Amino acid sequence: MNRAVLGATLANQRMNQTTSKKEAPHLLHALHSAASVIHTPLQASLSLGCEKDGVTTRRTERNHYGPLLVQKPFYPEGKEVCHVVIVHPPGGVAGGDELSISARVGASASAQITTPGASKWYKANGHVSHQQISIDVQAGGVLEWVPQETIFYDNADVIVDHRVNLEKDAVYIGCEILCFGRTAYGESFNNGQIRQRTRILRDGKMIWLEQIRLQGGSSAMKDSLALSGKTVCATLILTGKMLPQPLIDLASAETENISKGIGQIGISQFKSIVVIRYLGNSSEVARHVMLCAWSLFRPEILGRAAIVTRMWNT
pLDDT interval class at 156 (50, 70, 90)? very high
SS3 for 193? strand
Judge contact between 141 and 170, C-beta under 8 A: yes
What band does 188 get if pLDDT is binned at 50, 70 and 90? confident
- DSSP-derived letter for residue 312 is G
Segment 79-111, tens digit of pLDDT: 999 999 999 878 799 999 999 999 999 999 999
- What pLDDT is stored for residue 61 in this prediction? 95
The average confidence (pLDDT) of the chain is 88
Percent of the chain with pLDDT over 90: 72
Q: What pLDDT shows up at residue 15?
A: 43
CA dihedral (303, 144, 177, 307) positive or negative: positive
Q: Which candidate, 88, 56, 98, places its Cα nearest to that of 75?
A: 56
- 41, 118, 126, 197 from 93: Cα distances, Å: 10, 11, 14, 18
pLDDT digits (tens, 9 = 90+) for 107-135: 999 999 999 999 999 999 999 999 999 99
| 164 pLDDT more than 90 | yes
What is the dihedral angle through the alpha carbons of 200, 59, 291, 296, rounded to the nearest 10 degrees? 80
Query: How much is the pTM?
Result: 0.85
Q: Rounded to an integer, what is the distance from CA 152 to the centroid of its chain?
A: 11
Q: How far apart are CA 76 and CA 311, in angstroms?
A: 12
Write out pLDDT tens, residues 251-294. Answer: 999 999 999 888 999 999 998 899 999 999 999 999 999 999 99
pLDDT digits over 12-60, tens only?
A: 444 444 444 445 545 544 444 444 456 678 999 999 999 999 999 999 9
**Which range among 115-119, 183-187, 197-201, 304-308 shows the weakest confidence by mean pLDDT?**
183-187
Q: For residues 88 and 66, is the Cβ–Cβ distance under 8 A?
A: no
Confidence band, pLDDT 50/70/90 cuts, at residue 186: confident
